[in-house]
Amino acid sequence: MRHEFTHPYEDHLIMVAGIYKEVQGKEMLVYTRRWNIADEKLRNAEFLLRIAFLEHGTGSQLQVEQENFFDEEPLHPHKEGWNKALEALNNHLEQL
């Protein structure tokens, strides 16, 4: 897996790559994520993510777990990013 996007405040490309470790149909994805950025603290960090799709009433719920944080500093931007992404997904789905 590979994602490329432009930094929102600067004019440079950011690349995130990883490997799918487990795919359980409509239930769960497990994959790694490694950022290709200049930040020395994150350059060699490889995170493990588990995305579970859970039944919730007549709909579903996403459960996101991210592991392998070596200290608290990179935890905050990742948490903020996931919160924004999940909120945007929720807003989009409510408009359908």
| pLDDT value for 5 | 83
pTM of the model: 0.80
**pLDDT tens sequence for the chain (96 residues):** 898 888 777 777 788 899 999 999 999 999 999 987 766 666 567 899 999 999 999 989 999 999 998 888 778 888 998 999 999 999 999 999
For 47-79, give one letter per residue: b (16+ CB within 10 A) or e.
bebeeeeeeeeeeeeeeeeeeeeeeeebeeebe
Give domain limits for the chain.
Answer: 2-71
